[in-house]
Amino acid sequence: MAQSSDDGRLETDDAGLSVMDARLHSFQHFPRSQVVSAKRMARAGFYYTGEADKVRCFSCRATVEDWNEGDVPLRRHQQASPACTFLNCTHGLSALHNGSDYDEEAEAMAFQLRTGEVMDESVYPKVPHMKSEEARMGTFSNWPANSPVQPSDLAEAGMYYLEREDHVQCFCCGGMLAEWQQGDNPWSEHEKYSPNCFFILGHDVGNVPLATQSRRVNGREGSLETFEGRLDTFRSTQHPIEHERLARAGFYSTGERDKVICFKCGGGVKDWLPDEDPWEEHAKYYPGCSFLLAEKGNEYVSQVQLRRPNGHHSRSSQNGFSSHEEADDPMTKLEKLQREKLCKVCMDNDINIVFIPCAHLATCQKCSESLPKCPICCVTIVQKIKTYNA
């Protein structure tokens, strides 16, 4: 879990110094610009105070002065304020090495990637030859017999076996999990440690689920990409929601109780209540689904996501299916509500920043400073608005 402390607390200023260009502009009359470049200072979060060669971090407010030839702003910043949120969120601790070599070009590129000045060209999925659930299942031939989790559940959650102990890896984000314990749920663990994985969020990353592209219905092959094909899967099933509404929202019946799966993103939902809206449930738990976004639009998904923390019904991930919580334990419910309020980046502070234009409420103010894109839908952030709890 990310660490935070009072020393790293963000103090917003009226000059907008959280913006790189504003900090850079403050160094016009910096007396030591021949010793340390203004760009390196601004990248490290500093702006010039106008007093001698003293600079200050816009985030943690720490000041540093007495600059000499060979000084590295990032290192001096870390020495003065190791808990600074800007350093930890924007640069990452790995960038602040203690070795003697300094690569300014690498520092600049890393900063640009993290702040959105250049685009991350990473290709998803990270392991394309494992995008098929069938291929992932094929890697588990030597899976430990005494493991508390089943290969089928792991493969469904995007994992394939690395052929050592109980280590598995996600085909999409590349995240690895191990040391499985009794009661662990692959989907829940995947979401817990890789909450921004595009596969977990329902984005179309090329996943090929087992037997979901087509299915024999009444003796004929039915395409699940069509409304009629999905509707046919409900012919012999009972469901608390109208079949037409489910099929229009992209869902088809698995034939097992009220379980349904989206033909596009593979997201599953079960334990339905009669008053629930299929489109809304789809948007709540799989906001990145390309079919959902094409049919309903970003604005609809964003509105549903905004209402989610205070929704009337709570669900949990069970074997890849979004399901209503069955536990009535008040402490369990309290813990769940507290988790829902936490920032999705640091998991320490309460969420209080709304991103525009997507309107997602996902992070605290500290962590929002370094994000160029929304961690939920990956839309470029144009504006960040602070909210206040009543």
pLDDT tens digits along 59-107:
788 899 999 988 889 889 888 888 776 776 565 544 444 444 555 555 5
User: Which residue has 């033909």 as its token pair?
Assistant: 263
Rounded to whole angstroms, the Cα distance separating 292 from 202 reads: 10
| One CATH from 3.30.70.260, 1.10.1170.10, 3.90.1150.10, 3.30.420.40 for 6-115 | 1.10.1170.10
Q: Which residue has the higher pLDDT, 327 or 351?
A: 351
CATH class entry, domain 128-193? mainly alpha
Mention every residue, 6+ apart, whose C-beta is less than 8 A from residue 164. none
Specify the CATH number of the domain 214-328.
1.10.1170.10
**Structure-token pair, residue 198:** 């595009």
Domain 342-390 fold is Herpes Virus-1 (3.30.40)
Burial 98-123 (b: 16+ CB within 10 A, else e): eeeeeeeeebeebbeebbeeeeeeee
**pLDDT class of 247 with cuts at 50, 70, 90:** very high
**Percentage of the chain lying above the pLDDT 90 cut:** 21
Among 69-78, 194-203, 218-227, 359-368, the range scoring the smallest mean pLDDT is 218-227
Q: What is the mean pLDDT of residues 368-388?
A: 74
Instruction: State residue 318's pLDDT score.
Output: 42
Q: Is residue 143 predicted with pLDDT exceeding 90?
A: yes
**pLDDT class of 314 with cuts at 50, 70, 90:** very low
Q: Which residue has the higher pLDDT, 380 or 186?
A: 186
Q: Is residue 54 predicted with pLDDT exceeding 90?
A: yes
Q: Is residue 136 predicted with pLDDT exceeding 50?
A: yes
Q: What is the mean pLDDT of residues 285-300?
A: 81
Q: Which residue has the higher pLDDT, 341 or 278?
A: 278
Q: Name the nearest CA neighbour of 283 among 264, 260, 301.
A: 301
Instruction: State residue 349's pLDDT score.
Output: 78
Q: Which residue has the higher pLDDT, 86 or 125?
A: 125
The CA-atom distances, in angstroms, between 166 and each of 161, 177, 319 are: 8, 8, 18
**pLDDT class of 210 with cuts at 50, 70, 90:** confident
Average pLDDT, the chain: 75
Q: What is the mean pLDDT of residues 177-186?
A: 89
User: Which residue has 């948007």 as its token pair?
Assistant: 283
Q: DSSP strand E in 39-181: where?
A: 46-48, 55-57, 63-64, 159-161, 168-170, 176-177
Instruction: State residue 138's pLDDT score.
Output: 92
**Structure-token pair, residue 268:** 């599953």
- Domain ranges within the chain, ordered by starting residue: 6-115, 128-193, 214-328, 342-390
Output Rg (C-alpha) for the chain, integer angstroms.
24
Instruction: State residue 106's pLDDT score.
Output: 58
Q: Is residue 187 predicted with pLDDT exceeding 80?
A: yes
Identical fold between 6-115 and 214-328? yes
